[in-house]
A and B are shown apart, each in its own frame.
Chain A
Amino acid sequence: DAGVIQSPRHEVTEMGQEVTLRCKPISGHNSLFWYRQTMMRGLELLIYFNNNVPIDDSGMPEDRFSAKMPNASFSTLKIQPSEPRDSAVYFCASSYAGLNTGELFFGEGSRLTVL
């Protein structure tokens, strides 16, 4: 079975450019999460969706960040304009919220470098 699929795996861009990260969750999962990982701050929850609806976006750092989930099989995380401090690995994860254990299945991540 396919796991969580993220693209691109690597992106290098210049400050001020728009960045769009993409995620395809595991089929049948109804919750989707975006995390950001840096050495300094670890794995931070940015936003999560349940049944395609954003539930909690309190972790989104600023208005420059936005996320959408137009359907059950696709989500995007957009940064506009990007800044060097946004450089990090961005992970998408999915789970089935019917379980009461919160188990997450992660993609391989998108490594973003903003110059």
Chain B
Amino acid sequence: TQLLEQSPQFLSIQEGENLTVYCNSSSVFSSLQWYRQEPGEGPVLLVTVVTGGEVKKLKRLTFQFGDARKDSSLHITAAQPGDTGLYLCAGAQSPVIPVRFGAGTRLTVKP
């Protein structure tokens, strides 16, 4: 059983469409991160959220941390082929307990 459940597992959309992926847990996290991983590479951090209800924007990506700090969402506006990749959420329950990852959402954006 994953500590963090991500949905959907797979998502294939056309360029220009919007999408939202979700990361849910029954546990409370002190911080939650979103990473993107491309084939043959390690995950790369996109954003960290630490405050319940926090919203962060990174160009066309909007990240939200749930009020109770148990869940998060990632919304991409006007997706582009360069957004293709595996999106992973990861939670840390304290500074001394390491980050655990969800299974990821594999996004494909078709031109």
Contact = CB atoms under 8 A, between A and B. Distances in A.
Interface of A: 4, 31, 33, 35, 42-43, 45, 48, 50, 55-56, 91, 93, 97, 99-109
A49 B71 CA distance: 27
Interface string B90-107: 101011101111111000
A100 to B, nearest CB: 4
B62 interface: no
Interface string B16-47: 00000000000000110101000011111100
B88 interface: yes
Contacts of A48: 98
Contacts, number: 68
B98 to A, nearest CB: 5
Contacts of A107: 42
B41 A99 contact: no
29 contacts: A31-B98, A33-B98, A42-B103, A43-B43, A43-B88, A43-B101, A45-B100, A48-B98, A50-B96, A55-B96, A91-B43, A97-B96, A99-B95, A100-B30, A100-B50, A100-B95, A101-B31, A101-B48, A102-B31, A102-B92, A102-B98, A102-B99, A103-B33, A104-B33, A104-B35, A104-B45, A108-B41, A108-B42, A109-B41
Nearest to B104: A42
Interface string B73-111: 000000000000000101010111011111110000000
Contacts of B48: 101-103
B98 A45 contact: yes
Nearest to B2: A42
A91 B95 CA distance: 21
B42 A93 contact: yes
A58 to B, nearest CB: 11
Nearest to B106: A39
B31 A91 contact: no
Nearest to A91: B42
